[in-house]
Amino acid sequence: MVTFNSETRAGFGSSRRDSAECSVERNVPLFMSRGLFVTGTDTGVGKTTVACALTSAWAARGIKVGVMKPCETGDGNDAERLVAASGRPLPLELVRPYAFSLPLSPQVAASRENKDIEIENLQLAFQTLATDADWMVVEGAGGLLVPIAKNFTMADLAKQLDLALLIVARPGLGTINHTLLTVQAALTRNLKVSGFVFSSPHPEPEAETNARVITEHSAVPFLGLLPAIATENLATSAQTHLPRALALLTR
């Protein structure tokens, strides 16, 4: 877990409470937000690459983008990649309030280190970043129903932050079922789904067909396929392959 300094801790609750006892209802939005919550159908589907590409492209257009990876496990560097894509000196203790070494779900990783993830900390970090941003990009960990704390999932966090979802999925075999399940989980929780994108380092001959079938069964728009890209080409790749996703900012 990242330690908050006196400035970033200001305003945090002084008492440590289990998230299940949080005074705020988990399905009630706390903020009126402008931005996206990037989730996936699984871990390792390319959420960070998509989030960084979109962030870099928006930043290149002069948009002040705030980024956040609320919980990161497995000693990853997703938060650093997001900050680099934003082109702004955002403090990591706000971008990534919690980090754990084991590659497990946030709730389990925290428990293995005998720590708690305080939902209020995530809320305040987001609010602090959002006050100095035109647009927020928040990347979840794993899929939509990954638990953050007791009785609290990534879906609950997206709901509290009042962010629409962008679903990242693989383009190949199995993606129809995985993506439709994610959409269903989102809609039953009254979350808005702005669209879905595919991310893949390899060509997938059935990507177009799979995307069409997903949209037919969910009415969720397909916003493009992002192929393997080099870090220095993030903005260009997003502009080339994800123009419909980039247009979400103006809606």
Domain span holding position 38: 29-250
Whether residue 63 is contained in a domain is answered as yes
Asked if residue 232 is part of any domain, the answer here is yes
Model pLDDT, residue 182: 98
Confidence of residue 7 (pLDDT cuts 50, 70, 90): very low
Cα separation, 128 vs 153, in Å, equals: 21
Which positions ≥6 away from 121 have C-beta within 8 Å?
4, 12, 97, 98
- The fraction of the chain above a pLDDT of 90, given in percent, is 80
Number of domains in the chain: 1
Is 81 in a helix, a strand, or coil?
A: helix
- In a domain? residue 97: yes
Average pLDDT along the chain: 88
Alpha carbon separation from 9 to 45, 57, 70, 222 (Å, rounded) = 33, 31, 15, 40
Which member of 69, 115, 150, 192 is catalytic?
A: 69
- Over residues 148-174, the mean pLDDT reads 97
Q: Would 79 be classed as within a structural domain?
A: yes
Q: Is the pLDDT of residue 31 over 90?
A: no
Question: Is 3 part of any domain?
Answer: no
List the CATH number of the domain containing 53: 3.40.50.300
pLDDT range class, residue 145, cuts 50, 70, 90: very high
Q: Is residue 4 part of a domain?
A: no
> What are the tens digits of pLDDT across the range 104-135?
999 999 999 999 999 999 999 999 999 999 99
Cα 74–chain centre separation:
17
Within 8 A by CB and 6+ apart from 186, the residues are: 144, 155, 165, 167, 192, 193
Residue 235 inside a domain? The answer is: yes
Residue 224 lies in a domain: yes
Mark whether 69 is an active-site residue.
yes
